[in-house]
């Protein structure tokens, strides 16, 4: 009975937190992260792509609902860099974002089990030492460089490590900017890389929730890094002459046109909120 009450309380705290912070995935995905941690209680979770901490909080509360000692390490640049854009740039510099993230962890009551590293995933990887704990769950929601992050961390992954990858619907994003048209192929490359790794037996697909897939790492200690690099290059080559659906392209282009027009922006904002509510589509 107590266990049920604790689980309900933790889930309620998660949903309250999601209403207060800039959460970039959909509620069913946060619930699925909560459930996965509550079910498996991994000792150590690594997340690449914290943003304002919504996923981190979901996982921390999943652990708390089971009274587990799970620790979470979460990594984010928290600012745009020359080669990595970041939606966090809308909220100020890295320090301003770090204050927001730490405030969100405090308010959700989960700060004590989380370590935040502000910087790129490769810089974080370089700071690791051989005695660092094995990773039982890895969450990738950064810049689509799934190959880079899997190669950086596979040696620390447990057998059958749960790997969660967001943005794998293959949609092309497009928006009008002052300089012209900006294309976002993160969803395309994430889908291609994960499909290729599944096809070659490195990952096993367990389930998909909205745009987010849950995989198992098959024997990550034995992975052939050269083969993974070769598979990744083949995927990146497919971007040169890309065949993609037009649905996502049209929606994001029209959205950026309307959103950048000062007269239409208020109507567009309300219409988008109503559409999201009705369709329960995730925020982008």
Ligand X SMILES: C[S@@+](CC[C@H](N)C(=O)[O-])C[C@H]1O[C@@H](n2cnc3c(N)ncnc32)[C@H](O)[C@@H]1O
Q: Indicate whether 141 belongs to the interface with ligand X (CB under 6 A).
A: yes
Q: Yes or no: say if 43 and 69 are a contact pair by the CB < 8 Å rule.
A: yes
Helix H, strand E, coil C: the string for 171-232 is CCEEEEECCEEEEECHHHHHHHHHHHHHHCCCEEEEEEECCEEEEEECCHHHCCHHHHHHHH
Rg (CA), the chain: 19
Selected range binding ligand X among 9-17, 64-72, 139-147, 264-272, rule: CB under 6 A: 139-147
Selected range binding ligand X among 43-51, 100-108, 128-136, 224-232, rule: CB under 6 A: 43-51
**Residue 65 or 121: which CB sits closer to ligand X?**
121
CA–CA dist 2, 170 (Å, integer): 43
Q: How far is the CB of 164 from ligand X (least distance, A)?
A: 10
**Residue 54 or 235: which CB sits closer to ligand X?**
54
Report the Cα 208 to chain-centroid distance in Å. Answer: 14
Among the residues of the chain, which ranges form H helices? 2-20, 27-40, 54-65, 94-108, 121-126, 146-153, 186-199, 225-237, 247-260, 265-279
Q: How far is the CB of 121 from ligand X (least distance, A)?
A: 4
Indicate the SS3 state at residue 25. coil
**Residue 51 or 108: which CB sits closer to ligand X?**
51
Q: Indicate whether 217 belongs to the interface with ligand X (CB under 6 A).
A: no
Q: How far is the CB of 137 from ligand X (least distance, A)?
A: 14
Q: Indicate whether 284 belongs to the interface with ligand X (CB under 6 A).
A: no
Site track 59-98 with ligand X (rule: CB under 6 A), x = hit: ----------------xxxx-----x-xxx----------
Place of tokens 């559409």: 275
Q: Indicate whether 24 belongs to the interface with ligand X (CB under 6 A).
A: yes
Q: How far is the CB of 103 from ligand X (least distance, A)?
A: 15
Q: Indicate whether 140 belongs to the interface with ligand X (CB under 6 A).
A: no
Selected range binding ligand X among 100-108, 135-143, 251-259, 272-280, rule: CB under 6 A: 135-143
- Single out the residue of 49, 136, 248, 282 in contact with ligand X (rule: CB under 6 A): 49
Q: Indicate whether 163 belongs to the interface with ligand X (CB under 6 A).
A: no
β pairing state of 180-184 and 212-217: unpaired
**Residue 33 or 217: which CB sits closer to ligand X?**
33
User: Phi and psi for 104 in degrees, rounded to 5?
Assistant: -65, -40
CB-CB neighbours of 253 under 10 Å: 18
**Residue 25 or 185: which CB sits closer to ligand X?**
25
The count of residues interacting with ligand X (CB under 6 A) is: 21
Q: Indicate whether 51 belongs to the interface with ligand X (CB under 6 A).
A: yes
- C-alpha distances (whole Å) from 152 to each of 70, 144, 190, 278 are 22, 14, 16, 40
- Single out the residue of 121, 158, 196, 252 in contact with ligand X (rule: CB under 6 A): 121
Place of tokens 């982008």: 284
- Interface residues with ligand X (CB under 6 A) are 23-25, 48-49, 51, 54-55, 75-78, 84, 86-88, 120-121, 141-143
């Amino acid at each position: 009975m107590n266990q049920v009450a604790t689980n309900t309380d933790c889930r309620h705290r998660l949903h309250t937190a999601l209403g207060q912070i800039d959460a970039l995935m959909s509620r069913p995905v946060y619930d699925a992260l909560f459930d996965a941690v509550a079910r498996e209680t991994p000792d150590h979770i690594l997340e690449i792509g914290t943003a304002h901490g919504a996923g981190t909080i979901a996982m921390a509360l999943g652990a708390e609902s089971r009274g587990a000692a799970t620790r979470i390490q979460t990594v984010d640049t928290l600012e745009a860099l020359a080669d990595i854009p970041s939606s966090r740039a809308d909220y100020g510099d890295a320090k301003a974002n770090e204050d927001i993230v730490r405030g969100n962890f405090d308010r959700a009551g989960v700060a004590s089990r989380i370590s935040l590293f502000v910087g790129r995933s490769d810089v974080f990887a370089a700071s690791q030492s051989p005695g660092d704990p094995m990773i039982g769950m890895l969450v990738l929601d950064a810049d689509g460089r799934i190959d880079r992050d899997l190669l950086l961390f596979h040696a620390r992954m447990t057998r059958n490590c749960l790997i969660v990858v967001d943005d794998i619907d293959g949609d092309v994003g497009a928006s009008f900017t002052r300089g012209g048209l900006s294309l976002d192929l993160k969803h395309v490359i994430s889908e291609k890389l994960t499909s290729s790794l599944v096809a070659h037996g490195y990952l096993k697909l367990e389930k998909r929730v909205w745009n987010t897939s849950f995989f198992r790492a098959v024997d990550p200690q034995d992975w052939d890094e050269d083969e993974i690099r070769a598979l990744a290059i083949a995927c990146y080559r497919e971007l040169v002459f890309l065949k993609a659906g037009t649905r996502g392209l049209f929606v994001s282009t029209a959205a950026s046109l309307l959103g950048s027009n000062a007269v239409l922006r208020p109507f567009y904002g309300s219409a988008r909120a109503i559409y999201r509510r009705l369709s329960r589509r995730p925020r982008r």
